[in-house]
Structure 1
Amino acid sequence: MFRYKTSLLTPILLLALVLYSTTSQSNNTKNWPKTVAIFDFEMIDTSGGMIQEEIIAQNKRLKIITRMLREKLEESKRYKPIDISPAKKEIEYWRGGFHACNGCDADVAKKLGADLSLVGYVQKVSNLILNINVFMRDTKTGKLVEVQSVDVRGNTDETWTRSMSYMIRNRILDDKWSHMKE
């Protein structure tokens, strides 16, 4: 009698699992790509050493990793970066402070018609210790849907781009780490 119940239960559970996974996949793929307003990366320098040449080099690197992120997310087909230039005044108002404005980025992105907002910043502790941080919010709710960070060792073009590449490939677009799954 016990064997009979188990053998009947197995096909029912398998059918339920197949139906659930098919429904989940079809619901999720309908929502891709997500439009995302990717704001320029910001710098938080707590190193105490503000040398003009370093500031110029770091500003260049901020532009490089911002462009890199936009390109790689678009190539993934999961995200469609949108033009943020229509919000130039609001962006300038918050320049350097999007990371600390308690979700104002989601409001700006929502006005632009984006599903998501993405704010990133580089925190420099010293010329040897930095980290790159990314925060993604749902513009409808304002809630964080993705938070990722990578440590950077060394303040060079190569260390910044390698770290950004790692974050994109192994955090943001990797289903094991990312909260934004297909």
Structure 2
Amino acid sequence: MRQTRLVLLALALLGVSAGPGPVRADAGPATTPALGVSIDDFNYLDTSGEVTDQAAVHEKRLEEFMQGLRADVAAEPRYRLVAPGEARIRIVGGVQKMSTLIGWVKVALVDTVANRLVFERRYSFRGDSDQAWDRARIFVSRDVLAALAEAQPPAKTDAAAQIALAVFEFELDDTSAAAQASGPTPADATDLANVTKGVRELLAQSGRYHLIDPGRADGDAIKHQALRDCGGCDAAIAQKLGADQSLVGVVRRVSRTEYTVAFQLRDARSGAVVSRGDSGLRMGADYSWTRGAVRLVGDRLLDNGAHK
């Protein structure tokens, strides 16, 4: 279901910025696995109003367009074509015939892990012939390959060069009116668990960090979900776990449709703050917490290159 929503979003949000650039890791001995890419069959729409029915001709041209695009991507050893459910990057799009001589191609690349658009563009091409469609495919392939190169996950660095990081469970600071009456709910715990999972997956896949399991840690601040207010005690706890750094995150619910996300990264030895981020007020229901947290950590921590 999540990937279905992403595909619909990618096709709908034409003209919307694709968001921040790709996550990059620190330099070091590395190997880069082939990026799993799926290419959905593009939709076709004819709004030209022409009397002659050319459906069979256009169906053949679209089939050749898709074959060419897939061949262009598969020719690069950095990428491997996979089923949509296995893809890190999913490519979707459509072709629309506007008039006798004008056509459009719409393309979007969706990062299914980071849950964001990494590329989207609309192309206009002139002519309705085999040659015109092929020229359009060449332009699309060129830009798609460039976007895939940017979206390539960073190479996994040597374990010795990775930062050992303890990512503690995200905490909820509920200041909404409903909180006074009902307090935390089982749904809140599920949503927070999803936030923590999403952020941990993002950091693990960056190649920069080796995640330390904080599950065996103990202490009142952890038991009472109060690491955000313990004066930096998370750093000492992380050091005992063998981590170099600690990350504490909080979701602050203002109302059922307004929330903020914040995190703080500390050096485990000195307790000094290495990086922090605050999303500011966001609109969205509880299910959007994960998306907000992953975007914030990606923007402020990974893209800004905070390290040891």
* Superposition TM-score, scaled by structure 2 size: 0.45
The 2-side partners of 1:58 and 1:136 are apart by 24
Aligned pair partner of 2:232 in 72, 81, 103: 103
Q: Which secondary structure does the structure 1 equivalent of 2:259 belong to?
A: strand
Q: Percent identity?
A: 33
Aligned pair partner of 1:65 in 195, 203, 223: 195
Q: Are 1:117 and 2:246 counterparts? A: yes
Partner of 1:45: 174
Q: Are 1:149 and 2:274 counterparts? A: no
Higher relative contact order (CA 8 A, sep 6+): 1
Match of 1:40, as an amino acid? E
The 2-side partners of 1:114 and 1:45 are apart by 29
Partner of 1:180: 307
The 2-side partners of 1:128 and 1:85 are apart by 31
CA deviation profile, 1:30-87 (whole Å, cap 9, x unmatched): 9731001111000011112136597222221110010111111011011111111221
Partner of 1:162: 291
The 1-side partners of 2:295 and 2:248 are apart by 17
Alpha carbons of structure 1 residues 54 and 155: separation in structure 2 relative to 1, 3 Å: farther
The 2-side partners of 1:75 and 1:97 are apart by 28
How far has the Cα of 1:94 moved from its partner? 4.6
The 2-side partners of 1:54 and 1:98 are apart by 17
Higher helix share goes to which structure?
Answer: 1
Aligned pair partner of 2:263 in 134, 141, 157: 134
Structure 1, unpaired ranges of 5+: 1-24
Whether the 8 Å CA contact 2:239–2:269 is kept in 1: the answer is yes
Match of 1:102, as an amino acid? G
Q: Which secondary structure does the structure 2 equivalent of 1:49 belong to?
A: helix
Match of 1:43, as an amino acid? L
Whether the 8 Å CA contact 1:152–1:160 is kept in 2: the answer is no
Match of 1:63, as an amino acid? A
Higher strand share goes to which structure?
Answer: 2
Partner of 2:44: none
* Superposition TM-score, scaled by structure 1 size: 0.73
Alpha carbons of structure 1 residues 170 and 108: separation in structure 2 relative to 1, 3 Å: same
Q: Which runs of 4+ in 1 moved over 4 A?
A: 51-54, 91-94
The 2-side partners of 1:170 and 1:125 are apart by 23
Larger Rg: 2
Whether the 8 Å CA contact 2:277–2:297 is kept in 1: the answer is no
The 1-side partners of 2:229 and 2:205 are apart by 29
Q: Which secondary structure does the structure 2 equivalent of 1:125 belong to?
A: strand
**RMSD (Å) for aligned C-alpha atoms:** 2.5
Whether the 8 Å CA contact 2:257–2:286 is kept in 1: the answer is no
Alpha carbons of structure 1 residues 61 and 93: separation in structure 2 relative to 1, 3 Å: closer
Structure 2, unpaired ranges of 5+: 1-26, 29-156
For 1:10-89, what aligned pairs fall within 5 Å after superposition? Answer: 32-50=161-179, 55-87=185-217, 89=218
The 1-side partners of 2:221 and 2:276 are apart by 24
CA deviation profile, 1:87-143 (whole Å, cap 9, x unmatched): 1x3266552210000010001000001000110011111122211111110011101
